[in-house]
Structure 1
Amino acid sequence: MNDKGLINFRDIGGLKVPTGVLRPDYFYRSGQISGITPEQSEFLQNDCRIRDVYDFRSTDEVEQAPDTDLVHAKYYHIDILSDKTSNGASLGAMITDGSQVRQNMLKTYESIVLSESARKGYHDFMMGLLSDNAPILFHCFAGKDRTGFAAAVILRGAGADDQQIMDDYMLTNKLRVQANKDILNRFKSEMNQQQLDNLHTALMVDSDYLKHAQDVLLDHFGTFDHYLQNGLDLPSDYIAQFRNKFVVKS
C-alpha cells in the first residue's frame, strides 16, 4: 500500500498469530496528521476508510498542531502522559542538555506503563476497539513511543510473539528517516552539536525502551493478562473478546 508520504504510517494487521491472522486493513498507526495534504486526507478517508482517530498527544501538542479533520471520522483525544509534569515524549522535552536522553526515555516508558493517565488512556483506547466496527488510526507526535506501546499491546493481545512485536516497533527508525532529517535541519541554526545529537537520539526508538517497558510491566503486574485486568481495568475475558473480533482464520 502506498502511504502517500504519511509519516511513520503502517497497518499493523495481517500478522500471523497462533490462532489465525490479525485483521488486516483495520489497525493503522502513524505520527501526527496535522497539516497533511488533501491527497493524504483522501487516502486515509477513502482507501483506508478510517472512521476513528485516537490521538495520544498532550493538550499542548494538540493545540500547537491540531489533527487535520477526516470526513466521516470521529476524533478521540487521549492524553496518555498528562500525569507527567514534563511530557518526555513531546518534541520540546526531547531537547535536553547533557546525556540524559536515554534515561529520560526509559523514565517515559515507565510512565507509559504505570502512570494513572496512561492506564486510563489505554483502558479507554482498548475498550474503544471492542466497540469499533470500522478501521482506526492511532498516533502521537512521532508515532513511536505512546503509539509504539499501544501497537505492542494490540499485537500481544492478538497473540503475536516478542519478535513480531519488536519488528513492528523498530520499523519506526526506518520509516522516520526523512521526517527526522527535516526536524534536525529545522533546529540546526539554533542548537549546538550536542543538542542536535541529543535530539537525534530522542527521535529514534531503541529496543531497550520497549524491553524496559515490558520488564516494568512484569515487575508490577506479574503477567500481561494481569496488566490488562489490574493495570488497565479491562474485563477478565478481554483477550477472548478481542481475538474473537479481530483474529481471523487464515
Structure 2
Amino acid sequence: MEEPYMNDKGIVNFRDIGGTQVAGGYLKPGYFYRSGEISGLNPEQVSFLEHDCQLYTIFDFRSQNEVAKDPDTTIPGTHYVKDDILSDQTKNGASLAGMFANGGHIRDAMLKTYEQIVLSGSAQAGYREFFDAVINERKPTLFHCFAGKDRTGFAAAVILKMAGASDDVIMTDYLLTNQLRKEANAKLLAQFKLEVNEEQLRNLSVALLVDRDYLLHARETIINQFGSFEGYLKSGLKLDSGYVEAFRQAFVTPK
C-alpha cells in the first residue's frame, strides 16, 4: 500500500487521500486531493498542482463571498467548479466570517453546521454534483473550502466510506487536519489578535479545529434521517444504486 502523499510545497492542509487502506485493498493515489483554499499560490505550488498532481478538476466548496474575497489561483489546464455547499444557509459556521459570528456558542454552531452539511438542499445538490463529476471524469480532482476541514472533511469522509474504509481510518484522516493546519491557524490567530477581544480570539481558536464529535454528529444525523449511509447516498444525494460498486471498481486497487 502506498502512503497518502502530503506535499512539502506549503499548500495548507493538502493531502492525497489515495493510498488509504480500505476493505479489500486501498484507494488509488493520484485521484483525490483535499486542501484548504488555494488563493495566492506561488509558481512552485502552481507547477506542483499542474504537473505533479496533473489536476483535471478543482471543486471549490466555498461561498460566493469567500470566493470573491480570496479567489483561487488559476491552475493551467484545469476545470474550475464553484460548488457552494452551504449556499442556502444564512449562517455558515464553516466560513471564517461564520466562526466570528457564532460568538461563544461555536461548538454548538459547528454541530449545527454538520447537520446542514448532511441535510441542507444546497449541500445535497453540491455533493451530488461533485460525486457525479468524480465518477464521470475519473480524473485527478482537488476539492477544498476555506480551511479544508468541514465541507472538505465531510466530502473526504464520504469518499473513504464509499471506498470501504473503516470508521477509525476515516476519523484518522479527518483529525489529521488539526496537525496540518497548525501553522496556518497560528498565523490567523496572530493576524486577528489586535483586532478582536480575548473571547473572540478563544472562539476562533476553537473554530479552526476539527473535533471527532463533529464528524460523529454528521454520522448520527445520516442514520437518524436516512437510516444508513447507503440511504443517504440514495435519498440524500440521489446517486444511482450502483454508484458505490462503480466507484470501487474505478478507484480501489485490490490487495
Q: Select which of 221, 225, 231 maps to 2:230.
A: 225
**Alignment deviations for residues 181-214 of structure 1 (CA, whole Å, 9 cap, x no partner):** 1101111111111110000000000000000000
How many pairs align? Answer: 250
Alignment partners' CA distance in 2, 1:96 and 1:232 = 29
- Residue in 2 that maps onto 1:174: 179
1:8 deviation in Å?
0.2
Q: What amino acid does structure 2 have at the position aligned with 1:223? A: S
- Residue in 2 that maps onto 1:14: 19
Report whether the alignment pairs 1:106 with 2:111: yes
1:20 deviation in Å?
1.6
Q: What TM-score do the two structures reach when normalised by structure 1?
A: 0.98
Report whether the alignment pairs 1:55 with 2:60: yes
Aligned pairs for 1:37-116 within 5 A: 37-96=42-101, 98-116=103-121
1:99 deviation in Å?
2.2
Alignment partners' CA distance in 2, 1:26 and 1:241 = 15
- Residue in 2 that maps onto 1:4: 9
Q: Is the 8 A contact 2:93 2:102 kept in 1?
A: no
| Long gaps (5+) in structure 1 | none
- Residue in 1 that maps onto 2:208: 203
Q: CA RMSD in A?
A: 1.0
**Alignment deviations for residues 96-145 of structure 1 (CA, whole Å, 9 cap, x no partner):** 46520000000000000000000000111011100123211000000000
- Residue in 2 that maps onto 1:247: 252
Identity, % of aligned positions: 55
**Alignment deviations for residues 39-85 of structure 1 (CA, whole Å, 9 cap, x no partner):** 10000111111110000000110111110010110001110000101
Q: Tell me, what secondary structure is at the counterpart of 1:134?
A: coil
Q: Is the 8 A contact 1:96 1:198 kept in 2?
A: no
- Residue in 1 that maps onto 2:193: 188
Q: Is the 8 A contact 2:222 2:232 kept in 1?
A: yes
